[in-house]
């Protein structure tokens, strides 16, 4: 054993020298070929990197433009594209081909839709594309609705976060609470309005199981939470237990928005849950607004407004409009307005939903104007139905006649079907927001003086006047509405009658 050990260094030397001689002999014989191969590889690698850099700086580019830019043939271009592998994606075919650089090389994000029967359907995969400092998005289709690829988006390319996903962005009272939680977890801005697409993707793939509409992003926690919800569908609150449950949910919602009273007096606190009318009945998804405690002027005013919203829904329903189904309760010194979600189908089905704001951003770009102004342009381009435009014009006039000063384009929605035109969704958030408390908590006692209609609104205005008149009369007679707000309603009725007499002259 000792002799063998002593000979090991000698054996290693012999093997090492022999290997190096063989390798040197190989280089001598094939020297020219090896050097030639190395040169070609280095040259091709440099040109390929130049192509990648060009696409990263310039965003999705037509293959013809790239060929001209680099002075190469299409065959050479496609060879370099193949060498880049997953770092580059191609869109379209033949001479219509676009080339784009991925923002990163992580796995593409699956995009799911929850169908009305609660089945999951893979709509496609989202891919972030680099365009200098900006990010464009590509949707690689699987079973995507045709509506995702209409108009200028036929190739599935979006200059920013896809328009039909924009309404997944958390907003309002619930969005503010969500933003605070995500800021602590991911060190991002507390306001979701400031999040870019990658930040939306990061948060919603984890905590986006119960978003508006029917999209779910990714294969992560959000999808798992939805699947668990399907298994626990019997879990809901029995209506007889709401006097105990709703105060607890309201307290939890307020605890998550600690600065609500000081910084957002004009917002409406709310929570979401599921309720059933009887034991064993499948629960329904609801969103519940609630007032501050009624002994304060702030709480009483919000209570008045919630009652007014419930009355407006009842009047519009009688007039033939589809509205969110609402119920109202007074529990433990608060008023609760419960609205059944129309983007949910019992037991766990869902319906796609997009707002007027998103449709405008995708196809018009107006940005300002009334519901009717935007809807008029959308119907001209056949993105919505003519009968829905007429309904929107009527709703706009009704809102103006009941002092709804909050008819922004996020407060009118359309169902997102397989393709356009998009049908109008039920009415929601229709109430006299002119009288909501100010951001400092001040309760306004201002007078409401309705305006004469514009010529293009005259017909709809006259059609909705009787319903608005009924609304103010019912508000002024409601037993749970404060005397102060009844006085506002009586004055509004008088003003409305005066304006009507002038309008019909």
Place of tokens 């304060």: 296
Please identify, among 170, 197, 230, the residue that sits at the C-terminal boundary of a domain.
230
Place of tokens 């090389």: 105
- 188 phi and psi angles, rounded to 5 deg: -120, 175
The residues, any chain, with a CB within 8 Å of residue 257's CB and separated by 6 or more, are 173, 176, 177, 264, 269
CA distance 472 to 450: 12
CA distance 269 to 176: 11
Please identify, among 340, 370, 390, the residue that sits at the C-terminal boundary of a domain.
340
What is the pLDDT at residue 240? 86
Please identify, among 285, 310, 340, the residue that sits at the C-terminal boundary of a domain.
340
What's the pLDDT band for 22 if we cut at 50, 70, 90? Answer: very low
pLDDT at 318 over 80: yes
Pair (219, 246) in one structural domain: no
What's the pLDDT band for 277 if we cut at 50, 70, 90? Answer: confident
CA distance 101 to 200: 21
Average pLDDT of the residues in 42-51:
75
CATH number (domain holding residue 63): 1.10.10.10
Taking all residues of the chain, what is their mean pLDDT, rounded to a whole number?
88
| Chain segment 221-265, per-residue pLDDT in tens | 999 999 888 777 656 787 888 999 999 999 999 987 755 433 333
Average pLDDT of the residues in 490-497:
97
Pair (63, 203) in one structural domain: no
Pair (182, 97) in one structural domain: no
Sign of the CA dihedral with 325 first, then 255, 165, and 391 last: positive
| Chain segment 352-382, per-residue pLDDT in tens | 999 999 999 999 999 999 999 999 999 999 9
| Residue 308 falls inside a structural domain | no
pLDDT at 18 over 60: no
Pair (470, 363) in one structural domain: yes
What is the pLDDT at residue 440? 84
Total structural domains within the chain: 4
What's the pLDDT band for 32 if we cut at 50, 70, 90? Answer: very low
Least confident of 40-44, 110-114, 348-352, 362-366: 40-44
pLDDT at 7 over 50: no
What's the pLDDT band for 321 if we cut at 50, 70, 90? Answer: very high
pLDDT at 187 over 70: yes
Least confident of 195-199, 344-348, 370-374: 344-348
pLDDT at 33 over 70: no
Q: What does the block give as tokens for 331?
A: 């529990």
Percent of the chain whose predicted confidence (pLDDT) is above 90: 75
Average pLDDT of the residues in 9-15:
42
What is the pLDDT at residue 262? 32
Q: Are strands 237-238 and 270-276 parallel, antiparallel or unpaired?
A: parallel
Query: What range defines the domain where residue 251 resides?
Result: 238-298+323-340
| Residue 75 falls inside a structural domain | yes
What is the pLDDT at residue 143? 84
Percent of the chain whose predicted confidence (pLDDT) is above 70: 89
Pair (138, 199) in one structural domain: yes
Average pLDDT of the residues in 189-199:
95
Q: What does the block give as tokens for 420?
A: 């356009």
| Chain segment 469-486, per-residue pLDDT in tens | 999 999 999 999 999 999
What is the pLDDT at residue 238? 79
What is the pLDDT at residue 378? 98
Pair (363, 488) in one structural domain: yes
CA distance 155 to 103: 18
| Residue 23 falls inside a structural domain | no
Pair (492, 380) in one structural domain: yes
- In this prediction the pTM is 0.87
| Residue 37 falls inside a structural domain | no
**Residue 458 CA, distance from chain mean position:** 34
Average pLDDT of the residues in 330-339:
96
What is the pLDDT at residue 280? 77
| Residue 389 falls inside a structural domain | yes
CATH number (domain holding residue 477): 1.10.1070.20
């Amino acid at each position: 054993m000792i002799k063998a050990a002593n000979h090991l260094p000698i054996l290693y030397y012999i093997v090492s020298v022999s290997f190096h001689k063989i390798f040197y002999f190989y280089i001598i014989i094939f020297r020219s070929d090896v050097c030639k191969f190395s040169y070609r590889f280095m040259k091709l690698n440099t040109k390929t990197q130049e192509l990648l850099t060009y696409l990263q700086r310039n965003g999705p580019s037509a293959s013809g433009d790239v060929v001209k830019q680099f002075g190469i043939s299409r065959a050479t271009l496609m060879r370099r594209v193949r060498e880049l592998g997953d770092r580059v994606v191609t869109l379209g075919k033949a001479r219509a081909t676009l080339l784009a650089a991925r923002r990163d090389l992580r796995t593409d994000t699956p995009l799911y839709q929850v169908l009305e029967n609660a089945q999951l359907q893979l709509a496609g995969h989202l891919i972030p594309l680099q365009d200098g400092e900006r990010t464009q998005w590509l949707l690689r289709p699987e079973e995507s609705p045709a509506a995702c690829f209409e108009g200028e988006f036929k190739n599935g390319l979006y200059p920013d976060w896809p328009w039909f996903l924009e309404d997944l962005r958390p907003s309002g009272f619930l969005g503010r609470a969500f933003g605070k939680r995500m800021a602590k977890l991911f060190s991002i801005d507390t306001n979701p309005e400031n999040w870019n697409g990658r930040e939306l993707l990061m948060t919603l793939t984890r905590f986006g199981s119960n978003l508006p509409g029917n999209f779910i992003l990714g294969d992560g926690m959000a999808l798992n939470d939805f699947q668990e919800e399907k298994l626990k569908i019997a879990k809901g609150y029995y209506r007889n237990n709401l006097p105990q449950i709703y105060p607890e949910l309201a307290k939890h919602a307020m605890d998550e928005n600690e600065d609500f009273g000081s910084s957002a007096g004009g917002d409406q606190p709310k929570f979401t849950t599921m309720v059933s009318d009887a034991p064993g009945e499948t629960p329904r998804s609801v969103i519940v607004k609630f007032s501050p405690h009624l002994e304060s002027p702030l709480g009483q005013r919000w209570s008045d407004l919630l009652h007014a919203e419930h009355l407006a829904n009842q009047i519009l329903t009688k007039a033939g409009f589809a509205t969110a189904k609402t119920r109202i309760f007074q529990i433990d010194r608060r008023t609760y307005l419960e609205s059944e979600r129309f983007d949910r189908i019992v037991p766990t089905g869902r319906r796609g939903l997009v707002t007027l704001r998103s449709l405008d951003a995708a196809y018009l770009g107006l940005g300002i104007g009334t519901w009717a102004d935007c809807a008029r342009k959308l119907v001209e381009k056949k993105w919505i139905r003519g009968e829905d435009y007429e309904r929107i014009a009527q709703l706009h006039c009704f809102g103006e006649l009941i002092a709804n000063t909050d008819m922004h384009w996020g407060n009118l929605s359309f169902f997102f079907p397989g393709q356009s035109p998009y049908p109008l969704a039920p009415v929601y958030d229709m109430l006299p927001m002119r009288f909501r408390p100010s951001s400092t908590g001040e309760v306004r006692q201002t007078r409401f003086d309705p305006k004469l209609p514009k010529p293009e609104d005259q017909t709809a205005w006259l059609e909705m006047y009787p319903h608005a008149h009924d609304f103010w009369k019912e508000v002024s007679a409601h037993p749970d509405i404060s005397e102060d707000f009844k006085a506002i309603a009586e004055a509004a009725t008088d003003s409305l009658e005066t304006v009507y007499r002038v309008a019909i002259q």
